[in-house]
Amino acid sequence: MRRQGATCLVPRLVAGLLGMAMVLSAMPAAADTTPYAESFEEGWGGWDRDHDAPCEEDPTPCVVDWAIDRNNAAAFHGVWSLRAYLDGRDGAAAIWAEQQFDLLAMGPIHITLQFHLRDDGEGATAWPVVAYIGAQDPESGDAFSVVGQDGAAGWTAYVHDATVAPGIVWVAFGFRSASAEERIHDMDLVEMTLETSSIV
Ligand SMILES: [Ca+2]
Ligand SMILES: [Ca+2]
């Protein structure tokens, strides 16, 4: 899914990050760490849903039933989270939340991403939990790194990190199916730290 209006989100995000001291050009001598957190209490916080189901591109396309919606049925932090549903009976698929950030820095940025995912612990087969940090809009499940498995009842924290060049950086997190089951996961409290090395 191509996002509509993605570019209009960037100025607001840049402003938000700038407000958190990502003005590295004015701080040439010191390393800098910028925190980021989104708990979905007021809305999506600029995140958007996306998915990849390879069978949709078969000569006889399949339809994979999936959804990600903001929901107040369960939360790790606050009241709201993103509730994600995927029907693994329809074929292999990955679903995720993604956002692009325009990061201002004078050198590589090390991003550490952490998010929380809730499982009911009743699945018969563990499914991979996945994440992405990179320069491209993630459109394929193959772009993602497996950062763990679901299956533990309750909320579990998952971590992914990468070093990227300044500019447009996409961050995404979610999971993919690995068996013919329906599954619901709540996802909440996405946190990042953005670290830059000292600039001479
Ligand atoms: Ca929340
Ligand atoms: Ca995408």
Structural domains of the chain in order of their starting residue, each with its CATH number = 6-24+32-196 (2.60.120.200)
- Burial (CB count within 10 angstroms: exposed 0-12, middle 13-18, buried 19+), residue 85: middle
pLDDT > 50? residue 108: yes
Task: Return the minimum-mean-pLDDT range out of 17-21, 85-89, 146-150.
Answer: 17-21
Backbone angles phi, psi at 126, to 5 degrees: -65, 140
Ligand nearest to the Cα of 48, by number: 2
Average pLDDT over residues 79-88: 98
Closest CA to 197 of 107, 111, 133: 107
DSSP string, 69-136: EEESS--SSSS-EEEEEEEGGG---EEEEEEEEEE--SS-EEEEEEEEEEE-S--SS--EEEEEEESS
80 Cα to the center of ligand 2, angstroms: 23
pLDDT > 60? residue 200: no
pLDDT > 50? residue 28: no
- Provide the mean pLDDT of the chain: 86
Would you state the pLDDT for residue 15? 37
Q: Confidence class of residue 188 from pLDDT cuts 50, 70 and 90?
A: very high
pLDDT > 90? residue 129: yes
71 Cα to the center of ligand 1, angstroms: 9
pLDDT > 90? residue 22: no
Ligand nearest to the Cα of 188, by number: 1
98 Cα to the center of ligand 2, angstroms: 7
The answer to whether 103 and 21 have CB atoms below 8 angstroms apart is no
50 Cα to the center of ligand 2, angstroms: 6
**Residue whose token pair is 């087969």:** 125
